[in-house]
Chains A and B, each alone.
Chain A
């Protein structure tokens, strides 16, 4: 049971080939000299150069990064608060509605979320653009952030908080000095998830945005509709590489931090 047999090996090989081959092909052909995407005509980095000199791509990337940074940061704060409410605040009026509102946006079709937010912005008479996209992204990514932080709070050793309170900490300082450092890896993971969700989103941004605030996915989408282009391949490869490096580093860092925390947590408990 603990070794690979041929059936499982074949399944995994085929499965991962299916998952990765399209991305790998796309990356390889972003170095293709020819404009014809499937005919290999020699190695070239010219499409990367043309991406970097394309001002509309650079502008869109800048908008996307700013939206992502602001929305992920606010969403992480709101999501952490929501997670605390779900796990620590006890029963209160309307908790069922609150829980529902945390989980529902994650399964809601994007077209509905996008449309409903747009209609809200119109009826509030907000000018659509950078800030409306940011508000929309905060709203859906805070729910994911809440779930990630909540998953950590569930397994959290409550006696540590109690010990801090017994030793004279106020609730706030117990939270800042005990709870927050322990759940910090989860908060970081929540931020990263919120950030990538924001970088990825096309549908909700298309509804919530107005003239002047085109995000990178919106830009890519308008080009993709015309057909495959090596420039888009190059741009996509850059994005994939950035995200892959970011995710792998983050998971290594959080893993290390988690191991260290767990050790400290255990030590602290055994010394109580």
Chain B
């Protein structure tokens, strides 16, 4: 939500009045820094370590474990016991490759759908009378505050065989037999579009609202049709918003668990769900960790691209 406000991290104003030195400054930096090192960075090192370990029936259910009392010898012994077995396993069983591919496919299709639905909404909001805009913005953000799980759950009652949608379509005579939507990929697309629509609309709106109207007027004066003016001026100028919105939908959609689990069928496999099952049902922590590491590697590129794009935008707006 506050994405439009994210400023470039490289922006470093030379400090004149800031917290320039002393223990206060050091403490201020150290406390959140150490917290994030312990609870954000260190866990990834552990995931990497466990992804190289073997599963055993014990507590904790993996091997080897680092015993600090054995010192360097222990560390060396642990390093020697590491292997890439779990990663080899991931390439051997087609389940994992299929999960990765179908996650990418579902996330791409839903991102496109969200863009196609979100763009006209953002456009209409940006073109709305000024006194309406704050209210419209609030109306887009409000569902974002209500529980994600509940919003996804609400669609079960609509999409199921004897649900509202089929009831309505049968009543209007559009269809003769109820559609089977729940537990299909279509239901997942609907769920993702619905849940992530605000992420698409907000950055698009932020860009479209700032659009210089005089450019469009100039185009119309020079004989451009409104559609062509949109195509050659509005759309290219709104591309930063399009990119930001697409990344914000695509990245979390790839690792999505709740939507495929609740709305999707058993035949749809997505990587987030596979990881969950591997961990909670199969209790294979090392394989779950390897799945997580590969998912992370898959997302690093889009995340870096997103960061770069945000920095560029922040520089441009200064």
Contact = CB atoms under 8 A, between A and B. Distances in A.
Interface of A: 1-5, 7-9, 11-12, 15-16, 18-20, 22-23, 25-26, 29, 37-38, 78-79, 81-82, 84-86, 88-92, 94-96, 98-105, 107, 109-112, 115-117, 119-120, 122-123, 135-136, 138-139, 142, 144, 146-148, 150-151, 154, 158, 161-162, 165, 171-172, 193, 196, 199-200, 202-203, 206-207, 217, 220-221, 224-225, 227-228, 232-233, 236, 239-240, 243-244, 247-248, 251
Q: How large is the interface on B (under 10, 10 to 19, 20 to 34, 35 or more residues)?
A: 35 or more
Interface string B226-262: 0000000000000000000001100110111110011
Contact of A158 (B7, B17, B41): B17
B179 interface: no
A139 B148 CA distance: 19
B121 A15 contact: yes
A224 B157 contact: no
A164 B40 CA distance: 37
Contacts of A236: 147, 150, 153-154
Given A90-B18, A115-B47, A119-B50, A220 B153 contact: yes
B6 A147 contact: yes
A101 B40 contact: yes
A104 B121 contact: no
Interface stretch (B31-39, B77-85, B90-98): B31-39
Contacts of A105: 40
A110 B28 CA distance: 28
26 contacts: A5-B127, A8-B127, A19-B140, A19-B143, A25-B157, A37-B157, A38-B162, A78-B31, A85-B32, A90-B18, A91-B12, A100-B9, A104-B303, A107-B248, A109-B295, A115-B47, A120-B42, A139-B36, A142-B32, A144-B2, A150-B7, A151-B6, A200-B149, A217-B147, A236-B147, A236-B154
The 5 closest A-B pairs by CB, nearest first: A109-B255, A116-B43, A8-B124, A151-B5, A99-B9
Interface in B3-38: 5-7, 9, 12, 14-20, 24-25, 28-29, 31-33, 35-38
Contacts of B20: 90
B106 interface: no
B12 to A, nearest CB: 5
B24 A171 contact: yes
**Main SS of the interface on chain A?**
helix
A94 B33 contact: yes
Residue among A8, A144, A151 with the most chain B CB within 10 A?
Answer: A8
Contacts of B289: 115, 119
Nearest to B22: A171
Nearest to A5: B127
